[in-house]
Amino acid sequence: MTCPNCSSALSLRYTLMYEVWKCGHCGLEMAKDIHFDTGFSSALNEDVREDALKNLRLHNFGKIIPFIKQHFAHHKPKGIEIGCGYGWFLAASKQQDLHCVGIEPETRFNAIYQKNGDEVRNGFYPEILAPTEKYDFIIFNDVLEHIPDVNEVMQANHKHLKPEGLLIVNIPIRYGLFHCLSIVLYHIGLPSFLDRMWQFKFHSPHLYYFSRQNLIEIAAKQGLQCLEIKALKVIDTQQIQNRIGQDKSISKMKMLIMSVFIYCITPFSYLMPDIYCLFFVKKG
């Protein structure tokens, strides 16, 4: 298998729960032997996850939604969120008078969607869309890195966007503080932190770690031009224990040690953000 970005050779980089391979040319990292578990069974504690992430995600959506509204200042756009999970972005969009529908493979969220009056289809993107469906914007909130064929997805994004439509990718990247520190810990014999960054114990692990440049190049091949890049908040310091506690297998002692460590280094994450949002526009 070659790099999905530049077609260069991949070499083994990290031996974790699963092998991670890296492109020697563009640096893209890929776990090529792992897949999404459609049984949705894993070490992920969903109740804790909701508490850990909701306020953080809503904070970040506060930076994303104004950009969408500004881009479509002359008409009310209709968009689609891929992997809408708990429906937080759908709810935030509705509050800002932004029309967004969702795609979500897990059916356990359906009661939430029904309660909130959300329009959501259960299935996988892009197969679930009809060939002729078009949207003003398509958004991936911490989802693109979990989808197997990134080039196929980018082709679908171009196909299903209207002219001058927006692709929004909210994603963790390779050069962030927490990712880099996890690599240092791996090299001194502590691989579990890097395993956690890849979410290998969860039913939807990371398949990729991109750099911002990787994403710009992959999108450009499909006629999607980068307009803006925004750094986003990576940690809610009030929810550090819940963030770590998403992993049901972690011990209380390890959770305490990690919580203190993360609390101490979080102020420096503004210098090396782990999460960015990239905005692309369809040209041609």
Q: Is the pLDDT of residue 243 over 70?
A: no
Sign of the Cα torsion 200, 201, 205, 206 reads negative
The mean pLDDT value for 149-156 works out to: 97
> How many whole angstroms separate alpha carbon 89 and alpha carbon 81?
8
Asked whether 262 and 235 are in contact (CB, 8 A), the reply is yes
**Helical pair 252-265 and 177-187, crossing angle rounded to 10 deg:** 130
> How many whole angstroms separate alpha carbon 3 and alpha carbon 161?
26
Please report the pLDDT score of residue 258 as a whole number. Answer: 76
The mean pLDDT value for 35-55 works out to: 66
Q: What is the pTM of this model?
A: 0.91
∠ CA(217), CA(221), CA(226), 5° rounding?
A: 55
Query: Which residues pair with residue 229 across a beta bridge?
Result: 278
Please report the pLDDT score of residue 35 as a whole number. Answer: 74
More confident residue, 264 or 38: 264
> How many whole angstroms separate alpha carbon 179 and alpha carbon 13?
14
Please report the pLDDT score of residue 203 as a whole number. Answer: 78
Least confident range of 47-51, 140-144, 171-175: 47-51
> How many whole angstroms separate alpha carbon 30 and alpha carbon 182?
16
Position 162 confidence tier, pLDDT thresholds 50, 70, 90 = very high
> How many whole angstroms separate alpha carbon 212 and alpha carbon 175?
9
Q: Decide if domain 10-282 falls under CATH 3.40.50.150.
A: yes
